[in-house]
Structure 1
């Protein structure tokens, strides 16, 4: 059973990419005791809830929030301005990295890329997994995974310094 349940509006950040988010009430954020990663469900008034695993964003500016893409919002029956019903709790394994199957397979076939990938921080590994996961078409996901492995192996990945 989730530890924290609340309702909040689906809002949009100003400027930049205009991300959709649900603000976390101050009392709920305080009860999370600084947890960086949370799990739970997101639901609209007529949905059963879509499971999620997210980082808590915005604590630095005093406004903790959960960011959601349009795909997840649509699955939950939500849109900008709607009331979201959120159940959440701190993740039991905050440093766990869940990779898309396409990236796991590409890394399995490329020993040099896999060895270097394993030296990346959990946050960077997750970020690269999200890049693969965001592609809608399976062929694009496979192409991105293979391209990513080549860039990891050849040290041409954006942000490589050595």
Structure 2
């Protein structure tokens, strides 16, 4: 009976490793996006750092740099994982000739793929700060978003920084 259990474990181990790699990749994507968004929120506050709860501009800059550093580390780890292991049953990142590719999107350097993941948080933050959902007539095919007035961006960014618990993401 133990023999069959050992054989079963040996057969299932690659599937478990694949599931673990997929879960780990999803956590790294979430971490990269969250840290990048938090750094971007601070950027939207501009020189009005006090509305974000910072005691000085230097502290706001230091925390923003820390968010970017943590986002960058997570992006690097994600790319390393994507190169070395199958994610959801397939290689996420693979070499093709002199290029390195993320699916069908190929680049000259692996750092460009890291930057792509790193920018995802900033894109999410930009949308959250500068756009708002509006009521559209039924059957409208385009997304129903309007712009937030520029004068309100820093306040919305400060609110998002607080509501997304960004301060808890830095040591």
Asked if these proteins are the same fold (TM beyond 0.5), I'd say no
TM-score normalised according to structure 1 size: 0.26
More helix by share: 2
More strand by share: 1
Q: Which has the higher contact order (CA 8 A, sep 6+)?
A: 2
* Larger CA Rg, structure 1 vs 2: 2
